[in-house]
Structure 1
Amino acid sequence: MRTELVTEPGDVQRPNEDFASVALPASGRGGVLVVLDGVTPPRSGTGCLHSVHWFTARLGGALTELAVSLMDVPLVEVLSGAIVRTARSHGEGCDLSHPRTPQATVAMARWSPSAVEYLVLSDSMLLVESPAGVVTPVLDDRLARIPRAALATDALVDTHLRNKEGGFYTAAADPSVAERSVTGSLPRAEVRTLAALTDGAARWVERFEEGTWTDCLTFVRQRSAQALVDRVRELEREDAEARVRLGRAKTHDDATVVYAEL
């Protein structure tokens, strides 16, 4: 079995708000991969004493532990339980009802000898490759369906769109949001490769149009996960002056890739 994990901050002066893990159960018959992309808060604050980096580390750790130790529990319940555990880690000085309380996108998969389960929430994504080489992207496209003009201000997003019906969802402090995830299961024999990416790494496809999702997975297999992140950074530097045209708020974003050949 081949696995690769690369996570890199967009700015070396700031903590990486992504999280990534690959873990195997004690039996060695299966595994779990988890990728989170922490939502960078506005300057107006989050109502919380903790950083997004703190949050993603705890939520990601809880997700990994529960997914491995509770192999028979559906991933929706695993995410719900991890959100509850992380919420309990906050102190009394944290307002978990604040719309910008620390939160993250989620992409995860778990495989056993018989099945591969997956869960995606918000704009991290999972690529699933069949033995025949067919790559299927598992995407939660609710955020992408919102007109860009509606995302012009943080206040509008927080009030009407974030974690609201008709908007989009992220993992924050409400465990019921897990039910909003894109989930599914496939026979293990129908899956050869998995790759999870945060949107910072997915810019290779979505922003810079270097290729399709199939091309992206092939690039990682042939060149490595690190090579994909390195190419995104190169493209970002070349195109820094076009940030406004491309709708990018910052030149670089935290970028994470987890790759697993089953």
Structure 2
Amino acid sequence: MRVAIDTQPGGAGPNEDWVAGTPSLAIVLDGLSTAGLDTGCRHGVPWYVAHLGGRLVAALTGSETSLTAGLAGALEQVAALHPECDLANPGTPSATVAVLRQREGSFDHLVLADSPIVLEGHQGFTVITDLRVDDVLPDLKAEVEQYETHTADHKAALQRFVTAQRQTRNTPGGYWVAASSPEAAEHSLVGSVSTKDVSTAAVLSDGTSRLVTEYAMATWQEVFSALKTGGPQELIQNVRKVEALDPTGLRWPRYKSGDDASVAFCQWG
């Protein structure tokens, strides 16, 4: 498997995405926004996704370990790196997870939260994603989206939303992400498809997939055409061009003008 990767920050702040590719793996992590609120951790989201990603690669490379077990082990290992932090804080650094692994005759996939894996096959495109977060606190989400980004009202509404959202994170009635407990891995969406049924695949953060899912400014066919001609960098540039048409979120309401965007594009002969 050949994996081309790129990741770019959505603004002036640090990139809270993480992406990696090996001959058998493609991984994208999308760190969750803290909205300027306390996390109980002195390390921050970029530190968290880098350490979780590295341990995921180590656990799943050249191994028959299941994706679920690999993620659970990586979560446990990262938690052990900073026991001095308040890992019980509901805002502890966390991330979405999307993993595609090639094995003999098949591709295994794991998705936890809304970073999708898109498979191109003979019958079209299959999108594997976990949208449980969309069912959480829709009224507060709508309140955020009524304000233009970079306004005081938008910031205040976003903090109210994130504060309430944290209370539902990794709970039975809420949604699940990678955080401090290995239990989250058991709530991942996992599966496997035959290599005969897939020609290419893309593992994305939602900062990239929104070109299709939120902005409706491209189809999956157009996304994959851009990946095949210009690679991940071209696709992310296409996202930025669209966002530049609506810098304050009037046409496409959102949490920030530009989100961190990551791509792992997988091809094989």
TM-score for both structures, normalised by structure 2: 0.88
Give, in angstroms, the shift of residue 133 of structure 1: 5.3
Specify the alignment match of 1:77 in structure 2. 69
Give, in angstroms, the shift of residue 32 of structure 1: 0.7
Quick check: 2:3–2:22 contact (8 Å CA) kept in 1?
Answer: no
Do residues 64 (structure 1) and 57 (structure 2) align? yes
- Alignment match of 2:261 (pick from 250, 255, 259): 255
Alpha-carbon distance in 2 for matches of 1:175, 1:214: 36
Alpha-carbon distance in 2 for matches of 1:133, 1:218: 16
Alpha-carbon distance in 2 for matches of 1:43, 1:223: 35
Question: What do residues 72-95 of structure 1 show as CA deviations (whole Å, max 9, x unaligned)?
Answer: 111000100010111111142x01
Quick check: 2:20–2:26 contact (8 Å CA) kept in 1?
Answer: yes
Structure 2 SS opposite 1:189: helix
- Alignment match of 2:30 (pick from 26, 37, 43): 37
What is the one-letter code of the residue matched to 1:22? Answer: G
Alpha-carbon distance in 1 for matches of 2:235, 2:138: 27
- Alignment match of 2:95 (pick from 104, 114, 122): 104
- Alignment match of 2:43 (pick from 43, 47, 50): 50
CA RMSD of aligned residues (A): 1.6
Structure 1 SS opposite 2:134: coil
Do residues 149 (structure 1) and 148 (structure 2) align? no
Specify the alignment match of 1:237 in structure 2. 244
Alpha-carbon distance in 2 for matches of 1:133, 1:60: 32
TM-score for both structures, normalised by structure 1: 0.90
Aligned length: 250
Give percent identity, aligned residues only: 34
Question: What do residues 123-159 of structure 1 show as CA deviations (whole Å, max 9, x unaligned)?
Answer: 10101122x2521000101112335314452222112
What stretches of structure 2 of length at least 5 have no aligned partner?
Answer: 142-159
Specify the alignment match of 1:86 in structure 2. 78
Question: What do residues 163-216 of structure 1 show as CA deviations (whole Å, max 9, x unaligned)?
Answer: 111211110011011011111011222222110110111121122212233332
Alpha-carbon distance in 1 for matches of 2:240, 2:224: 18
Quick check: 1:204–1:228 contact (8 Å CA) kept in 2?
Answer: no
Structure 1 outlier segments of 4+, above 3 Å: none
Do residues 203 (structure 1) and 210 (structure 2) align? yes
Specify the alignment match of 1:116 in structure 2. 107
